[in-house]
Amino acid sequence: MDLNLYTVFVEIMRHGSVSKAAEALGLTQPAASNALSRLREQMGDPLFVRTRNGMLPTHFAEEILPKIERSLDVLQDLPVDKEMELPAIGSIKRHYTIVMSDLEETLFLPDLIAQMAKEAPRATLEVRQFQRLGLQESLEKSRVDFIVAHLAAVVKNVVSRNLTRQDFVCVTRTGHPLLDYGLSLETYTSLGHILVAPDLGGRRGVVDERLKQLGEKRNVVCSVPHFLSGCALAAQSGHLLTVPRLLGEKVAKNFNLDIHELPFTMPGFTIGLHWHQTRDSDPEHASFRNFIMAAIG
């Protein structure tokens, strides 16, 4: 049903004339007549009978007029291009679910929780581990409010905002005996490596793909799902660990790690805040996502 036809119907009822209805709506008479023809076909009723006194409505037309007028009133009351009014973050009493890997937990969660205590004390937060499998369904069924991650694969109907851009560094135990003269490509590829594979596991990652492009490869001796366990292993062994720079800077002192620049160029990546498009017009959701971006962006 073309809802624009309803307005033509109401104006013909009001004026008893197709030409006057067209004038009231700013249409040409042929356009109004065409609309009436389409409406007659859709309704299965003539709707109006032409007489010397104008267009007289049929009994069916008189019956449906109140329903059509009520429908148009409802449609006119719908907000169109109206800016959403967001509640104050301090007034929101709601439980939010956010997906992160331990990378984002380490980088962002302490600051986010600290800011929530100050500005959003009535809101609560549940952090769930990042797992690509089932993520789409969790978003669609509102089991998850937000994702803070680098989404390497496309997730349908997701709205994203960039939080930070990261590059990579290599961390090793403090005073590694083979790195007195710095980290060369030869040293990097000859030593053992810890690989962090947060989601799918395996023994290859983005660093291995980059080395393959350069005609090189490294020896991954252990693959773990968490960055912090990877840092602990690197600190207690002679193996190397390649991590996002911000993580290396945050944990190096606590884990007794040295930070080294990579001996080859390595593309960076973006960590973003993501949510499902169906939540875009939820005022409390919008207020909290603005709060997240301000707190950790």
Given this model, what pLDDT does residue 3 score?
65
CA angle 102, 105, 108 (to 5 degrees): 145
pLDDT of residue 83 exceeding 80, the answer is no
pLDDT of residue 109 exceeding 80, the answer is yes
pLDDT of residue 81 exceeding 70, the answer is no
pLDDT average, residue stretch 65-79: 75
Strand partners, 272: 149, 162
Amino acid at 22: A
Euclidean distance between CA atoms 33 and 228, whole angstroms: 73
pLDDT of residue 87 exceeding 70, the answer is yes
| Distances 25 to 105, 117, 163, 260 between C-alpha atoms, Å | 58, 56, 49, 72
- Name the residue with tokens 């007549």: 33
> Helices marked H in the chain — which ranges?
4-15, 18-25, 29-43, 59-77, 102-119, 135-140, 185-190, 206-213, 227-235, 245-255, 283-296
CA angle 127, 128, 134 (to 5 degrees): 145
Euclidean distance between CA atoms 170 and 32, whole angstroms: 72
SS (H, E, C) 150-161: CCCCCCCCEEEE
SS (H, E, C) 199-229: CCCCCCCHHHHHHHHCCCCCEEEEEECCHHH
**For 253, phi and psi rounded to 5 degrees?**
-65, -45
In order of their start, the domains of the chain are 4-77 (1.10.10.10), 89-165+270-296 (3.40.190.10), 168-267 (3.40.190.10)
Given this model, what pLDDT does residue 52 score?
81
If pLDDT is split at 50, 70 and 90, which confidence band does 79 have?
low
Give burial (CB, 10 Å; 0-12/13-18/19+) of 36: buried
> pLDDT tens digit string along 163-214?
999 999 999 999 998 888 889 999 999 999 999 988 777 788 999 999 999 9
Model confidence, pTM: 0.71
What is the CB-side half-sphere exposure of residue 143 using CA atoms within 13 A?
Answer: 8
Q: Which of 227, 152, 235 is nearest to 195 (CA)?
A: 227
Euclidean distance between CA atoms 44 and 153, whole angstroms: 50
Residue pair 241/220 in contact (Cβ under 8 Å)? The answer is no
